[in-house]
A and B are shown apart, each in its own frame.
Chain A
């Protein structure tokens, strides 16, 4: 047992080291387009993992992700933009003096964005987390829309519907994947702790959890604020990645996508959220050609704008109806699981070659 724990630690460290090497390679050798996709994968991973925390583990259906991401994005953008850029952006009405001359490094800007998002979640969570399931969803969706309307109207802070252009492109794969790994680590530690068990109890049966002494509201709030903090950070990463934001970017469509990714990956599986977020981002790019016209020999096939989202939402509906556990259900990646699978594969392959498989070295019951 002990050896397997040590072995797993070593494997984890090796895998992380390998991943870092991959990131370094990608950052130095890949072109801007592929890097952008790699960065987006990380941003969507954070979105999905945090949504999983609040919905998958705590059972609170919050549809406020887009709003919290907007807060983080605007905060990070306004804090990192140079005074000249701001002057160029705010030509309709001047920016408020408080923000005019600030130009912060990236990290504090991201943290401020996350903190503001967490405070906003406190504001809406305080009334809304007392509500049951779908009411909470509508209240948070409404809140997210309020934020958007405010951002359209606060001309002197957000530049209104014109949005912000020329946000410095601070986000690279170290920032984005660093933040994603930190998020996964924190959320994983949380859900595996006694708090995490309390959160699951709240999800499965509020009345029973309360009877066992779990303070419902405190636990929901903690999960909600933590989740919103990371969403805010992810919003900041996104702003400094795509370099142009306006309130339309943060419409409810963004939230739906996050819901879809998380449900498909599997509720209560962080592995699922990560895999689904990466698959989603990559497939969205791979499928891009179907939205623009192309020629197949003599055939001219017109592009169908919006087709990718139709495929995605159809798939989402099918998953909800027929395969509710998604890709991973409640399972998580583990080295033991991986090694067992590999051992099984190995045996099957050797079996194909007609040799008698070696006496089972794996635990019984694995078949």
Chain B
């Protein structure tokens, strides 16, 4: 393998990783606060891609209007899901909450099939994301730096919110103890809803990037990236935003590199992430940056 080919693969890996990272952050945020694996997260990704598709292709909106609009609407969807399917279950055993998340995911997928039809649709790709860029011998399409930039900017924004604003402080408090935080005068329901809105908005950004990267969308498109993003979140240490970011990029790069170095394993690419997950859970369940958490009854 030549050096330039290596960098070529690295660029591909980074562009895939940016995607996983964006989706993983939403997973990790919700998990950090509610201790819930929001199983429907991957399907929120799918809905965002469709909303963007309808905005850009059906209503012929320019992309700079269609995409932010899709992100906004998806954030709203995240809030609705939280309000309708998760809030009524506060205080019941967590596994019930997770069952509800599975049901929401199942519902979104089926609704997607009915409303958007099961047939894949071609996603309109903004032309400026298709330009080849030459960096030395390596050719990358302009999508890659844009995706990475989007991921980093949103990541920075999220860090700012979590660490520098009052809502962020409330979120951090919630992740320690919801009840006590409520007693201290924080409107916990509102903060949880905001966390869902932010998480879904990030998922939406990931979904649009996903749709641009593989310019085809279908109602089940979110499931596998969603699962992999969750694995990325576990890899980084679930509940840790920086960890999710790093885990996302690592997973993306690793997936591409495995196939690059062992082409005969290409067919098994999708199994790779799950194998990482199982190994990780065996040997280092806290992930790279997670902290050990005492077992709560």
* Pair from one complex: yes
Tell me if B106 and A260 are in contact (CB < 8 A). yes
Tell me if B118 and A305 are in contact (CB < 8 A). yes
Given contact pairs A132-B295, A142-B278, a sample of 7 additional A-B residue pairs in the complex whose CB atoms are under 8 Å apart: A61-B95, A124-B278, A134-B94, A149-B268, A305-B117, A306-B114, A313-B106
Query: How many chain-B residues does the 8 Å CB contact rule pick out?
Result: 45
A316 within 8 A of B: yes
A135 within 8 A of B: yes
A135, closest chain B residue (CB): B281
A320 within 8 A of B: yes
B270 within 8 A of A: yes
Q: Report A's interface with B, CB cutoff 8 A.
A: 59, 61, 63, 124, 127-128, 131-135, 137-139, 141-143, 145-146, 149-150, 152-153, 205, 207, 252-253, 256, 259-260, 263, 304-307, 309-310, 312-314, 316-317, 320-321, 324
Task: Specify the main secondary structure of chain B where it touches its partner.
Answer: helix
Q: Which residues of B contact A304 (CB under 8 A)?
A: 114
B107 within 8 A of A: yes
Tell me if B106 and A316 are in contact (CB < 8 A). yes
B277, closest chain A residue (CB): A142
Q: Which residues of A contact B268 (CB under 8 A)?
A: 149-150, 153
Nearest first, the 5 A-B pairs at minimum CB distance are: A142-B274, A306-B113, A313-B107, A149-B271, A309-B110
Q: Which residues of B contact A259 (CB under 8 A)?
A: 99, 102
In Å, the complex CA distance between A150 and B111 comes to 30
Tell me if A127 and B104 are in contact (CB < 8 A). no
Q: Which residues of A contact B109 (CB under 8 A)?
A: 253
A59, closest chain B residue (CB): B95
B96 within 8 A of A: yes
Tell me if A314 and B107 are in contact (CB < 8 A). yes
> What is the minimal beta-carbon distance from A249 to any residue of chain B, in angstroms?
15
Known: A133-B94, A153-B268, A317-B107. A138 touches B297 (CB 8 A): no
Q: Which residues of B contact A128 (CB under 8 A)?
A: 278, 281
In Å, the complex CA distance between A324 and B278 comes to 31
In Å, the complex CA distance between A307 and B110 comes to 8
Tell me if A134 and B95 are in contact (CB < 8 A). yes
Tell me if A310 and B114 are in contact (CB < 8 A). yes
In Å, the complex CA distance between A139 and B231 comes to 10
Checking A310, A312, A321 against B88 with a beta-carbon cut-off of 8 angstroms, the contacting residue is A321
List 10 A-B pairs, Cβ < 8 Å: A59-B95, A134-B36, A139-B281, A143-B278, A145-B224, A145-B274, A252-B223, A306-B118, A309-B110, A312-B110
Tell me if B96 and A320 are in contact (CB < 8 A). yes
Checking B106, B270, B278 against A256 with a beta-carbon cut-off of 8 angstroms, the contacting residue is B106
In Å, the complex CA distance between A253 and B118 comes to 14
B230 within 8 A of A: yes
In Å, the complex CA distance between A356 and B95 comes to 50
In Å, the complex CA distance between A304 and B117 comes to 9
B267 within 8 A of A: yes
Q: 1/0 per residue B247-277: CB within 8 Å of A?
A: 0000000000000000000011011011101
> What is the minimal beta-carbon distance from A252 to any residue of chain B, in angstroms?
7
